[in-house]
Amino acid sequence: MKITLLPGDGIGPEIVAAAVDVLNATAKKFNFEIEYDEQLIGGAAIDGTGVPYPEATAVSAKAADAVLLGAVGGPKWDDVDPTLRPEKGLLQIRKDLGLYCNLRPMSVSKYTAHLSPLKSERAEGTDMLIVRELTGGIYFGEHNEAKEINGVETASDIELYTRPEVERIARFAFESARKRGKKVTSVDKANVLASSRMWRRIVTEMQANEYPDVELNHYYVDNCAMQFVLGPRQFDVVLTNNIFGDILSDEASVIAGSIGLLPSASLGDGTGLYEPIHGSAPDIAGQGIANPLGTIYSVAMMLRYSLGKDEAAAAVEAAVEKVLDEGYRTPDLYAEGLKRVSTSEMGKLVADAI
Ligand code: IPM
Ligand code: MG
């Protein structure tokens, strides 16, 4: 298996190193070999090569079976040209690899339910999969940076979707729902946006024609944000566009109690990319206190979706459960009576459990 490692910025290198320990233990246990190729992305790539997504990174990623990414961005690069920001590296690799489908599973674990800002009886038992469109919409529509038009400073960004883009992401959501709770909630802003009205029409059509066995409902995004807090258990698969998915997945993550535990997979027609949903957390970088479990769970998703190793994926998830069950916690999840461990210690514990 060829894996491209893109540690990136901030806590990225620490959490990726811990996840690599786990991946190595998994490879040993399940008898396969991994060849790593570490490359630059984001701020680290800007510092090293002048651009956030260098050609060498693109070449390596395309040749790999999967990409494991840490995080990008930080205050150091806040003032660089907008076309060269670290985040641009992430957007470019998503587009370049055709990663139109972003899966962000969120479930409320018994280890974190008490950390949820929601009352535990409301949060407990929540288990949803956010299916976010990742290579279209306002993120990739024309961006017009601020300039004077008719004497007034003006800027704009275009939200644009085509039918094939909506169909392929909706298909992914319906297919995922068939393997889960058989319910899709499609989120849009059809009361205001033309792109949303087309989105809703296509999704409705597909359900009627191809997925009558899957229950479908629609929420406007503002109502959906409210429903996440009022009754998160009502959701199974949440299907939405790029920007609404960005916002709703952050909201969902805190309901789980900690953003540090949540993984993601970005899939398309070629190499898949795996990363925790949190950012680069520059404030705690280099201190060995970041939680690597979101990245380790991303490794489990990688094993399942890109490497075809379901058993190994389940072993990684079981190993994390075991370590948490034994009371080991990184500082973000620590409470009295538990055992506080560092980022790398957590990685080693999970690797040993495998
Ligand atoms: C995410 C992040 C990215 C996004 C940023 C870093 C560009 O917030 O993956 O959710 O907006 O997609
Ligand atoms: Mg985000």
Is the backbone of residue 148 left (phi > 0), alpha (psi -120 to 50) or beta?
A: beta
Torsion of CA 185, 188, 190, 191, to 10 degrees: 100
246 is catalytic: yes
Q: Interior CA angle at 315 toward 338 and 234, to 5°?
A: 75
Q: Whose CA is nearest to atom 4 of ligand 1?
A: 246
Residue from 211, 246, 305, 309 carrying the catalytic annotation: 246
Residue from 222, 269, 325, 352 carrying the catalytic annotation: 222
- Torsion over CA: 341, 302, 262, 231 (sign): negative
pTM reported for the whole predicted model: 0.94
Candidates 246, 41, 279; CA nearest to 159 is: 246
- The two domains 1-100+268-354 and 104-127+158-258 share their CATH topology (first three levels equal): yes
CA dist., res. 56 & res. 58, Å (int): 5
78 is catalytic: no
Helix, strand or coil, per DSSP, at residue 65: coil
**Residue of 85, 90, 250 to mutate, ligand 1, most atoms within 8 A of C-beta:** 90
Atom of ligand 1 nearest to the CA of 73: 6
Let me know: does 104 contact 317? Beta carbons within 8 Å. Answer: no
Mean pLDDT by 10 residues, the chain (354 residues): 98 98 98 98 97 98 98 95 91 97 93 89 94 98 96 98 98 97 98 98 98 98 98 98 96 88 94 95 97 97 97 98 96 94 98 98
Atom of ligand 1 nearest to the CA of 91: 7
User: Measured from the CB, is residue 25 less than 6 Å from ligand 1?
Assistant: no
DSSP 8-state symbol, 142 = P
**Residue of 6, 72, 87 to mutate, ligand 1, most atoms within 8 A of C-beta:** 87
352 is catalytic: no
Three-class DSSP labels, 230-295: HCHHHCCEEEECHHHHHHHHHHHHHHCCCHHHCEEEEECCCCEEEEECCCCCHHHCCCCCCCCHHH
Let me know: does 54 contact 40? Beta carbons within 8 Å. Answer: yes
Residue from 88, 189, 219, 274 carrying the catalytic annotation: 189
Query: What stretches of 132-236 show up as alpha helix (H) in DSSP?
Result: 163-178, 194-210, 221-230
Q: Whose CA is nearest to atom 6 of ligand 1?
A: 87
User: Measured from the CB, is residue 71 less than 6 Å from ligand 1?
Assistant: no
- Strand-pairing partners, residue 309, are none
Q: Would you tell me how many other CB atoms lie within 10 Å of the CB of residue 288?
A: 17
- Using only C-alpha atoms, what is the Rg of the chain? 20
User: Measured from the CB, is residue 275 less than 6 Å from ligand 1?
Assistant: no
Nearest ligand by distance to the CA of 266: 1
Q: Whose CA is nearest to atom 1 of ligand 1?
A: 246
Let me know: does 297 contact 261? Beta carbons within 8 Å. Answer: yes
Q: Would you tell me how many other CB atoms lie within 10 Å of the CB of residue 71?
A: 32
Helix (H) or strand (E) holding 188: strand 183-188
Residue from 250, 322, 334, 348 carrying the catalytic annotation: 250
User: Measured from the CB, is residue 87 less than 6 Å from ligand 1?
Assistant: yes
Strand order in the sheet with 237-240: 35-38, 2-8, 66-71, 272-276, 263-267, 101-107, 127-133, 237-240, 183-188, 215-220
Q: What is the pLDDT of residue 274?
A: 98
CA dist., res. 132 & res. 353, Å (int): 32
Let me know: does 338 contact 323? Beta carbons within 8 Å. Answer: no
Does the domain at 104-127+158-258 match CATH 3.40.718.10? Answer given as yes
For the record, the structure tokens of 6 come out as: 């893109």
Q: What is the pLDDT of residue 110?
A: 82
253 CA distance to ligand 1 middle (Å): 13
Q: Where are the domains of the chain?
A: 1-100+268-354, 104-127+158-258
274 is catalytic: no
Residue whose entry in the numeric block shows the structure tokens 């540690």: 7
Atom of ligand 1 nearest to the CA of 87: 7
CA dist., res. 43 & res. 8, Å (int): 7
Does the domain at 1-100+268-354 match CATH 1.10.287.110? Answer given as no
Residue whose entry in the numeric block shows the structure tokens 């949060």: 123
CA dist., res. 129 & res. 236, Å (int): 6
Q: What is the pLDDT of residue 221?
A: 98
Q: Whose CA is nearest to atom 12 of ligand 1?
A: 246
37 is catalytic: no
User: Measured from the CB, is residue 246 less than 6 Å from ligand 1?
Assistant: yes
